Structure 1
Amino acid sequence: MDLLKKSLEILEKVNAKDIAVFDFKETSPYYDYFVVGTVNDRAGQAAIGYFGDDLRNEIKHIEGKGNAGWVLIDLGDIVVHLFKEDDRRFYGFDQRFMEFRK
């Protein structure tokens, strides 16, 4: 199954909100996509579990276990960023990525 599609299915399973996919295939030698979603603490931890169960062999690294407000799941070509709502607003990821892609 396509890694991006599976990642999005996992985020839908944990009820992530405002899921955005940023395509960096043409601009980054390190990754193809950033996937950003808004979750609460419980959903963020559930996502780590589901990614571990479903994509164990694809995971390169995970940051933000616990109640960090920001979880990063590195799948190599795809980097998943899960934020609590306030943290997503604070870091302004969506705006920064839109500006970067211009």
Structure 2
Amino acid sequence: MRESVESQPGVLVQTVLRCLEDAKVEEIVCIDLNGKTALADTMIIATGRSNTHVGAAAERVMKALKELGVVAPRVEGLSNCDWVLVDAGDAIVHLFRPEVRQFYNLEKMWGQDRPGAGQAG
């Protein structure tokens, strides 16, 4: 009998992180939300190079979640792919194009600095 995702702490997050790495997204940040909100336990933020890249990465994450047994993750933003949100229950995934991520700066909102922010390139 297969265990549920809920009985395997960290499996959901590790699956999403592996998908994002396989999709070659950039600047993956994982934020622990425990004690900050009841929305989810983890927020994962990543950057795709283009609308097409963001959409493909989101599709890859949704397929992996389905294979993991997550029932119908909610998805917003697939029509434009500037910012796609995948709500997998205990983990919320935000996939952005670079300029959209910089504009919204969710890391700052949730108390974590964005990698590379403020550094000269």
TM over 0.5: yes
Of residues 61, 77, 100, the one that matches 1:51 is: 61
Of residues 23, 26, 38, the one that matches 2:35 is: 26
* Structure 2 residues without counterparts, runs of 5 or longer: 1-7, 113-121
- Does 2:47 align with 1:38? yes
* Structure 1 residues without counterparts, runs of 5 or longer: none
Equivalent pair of 2:62/2:86 in contact (CA under 8 Å):
no
Deviation at 1:48, TM superposition (A): 2.4
Q: Please tell me the root mean square deviation across aligned C-alpha atoms, in Å.
A: 1.6
* Matching residue of 1:65: 78
Identity of aligned residues (%): 27
In the superposition, the TM-score normalised over structure 1's length comes to 0.87
Instruction: Name the structure where strand makes up a greater proportion of residues.
Output: 1
Q: Which amino acid aligns with 1:97?
A: W
Bigger mean CA deviation after superposition, 72-81 or 50-59: 50-59
1:17-61 CA-to-partner distances (Å, cap 9, x unmatched) read: 111011011222221011000112122111222123221242430
Question: Which stretches of structure 1, 4 residues or more, deviate above 4 A after TM superposition?
Answer: none
Describe the SS at the equivalent of 1:55: helix
- Aligned residue pairs: how many? 99
In the superposition, the TM-score normalised over structure 2's length comes to 0.74
Bigger mean CA deviation after superposition, 5-14 or 62-71: 62-71
Q: Measure the CA separation in 2 of the matches of 1:89 and 1:49.
A: 22
Q: Measure the CA separation in 2 of the matches of 1:79 and 1:52.
A: 12
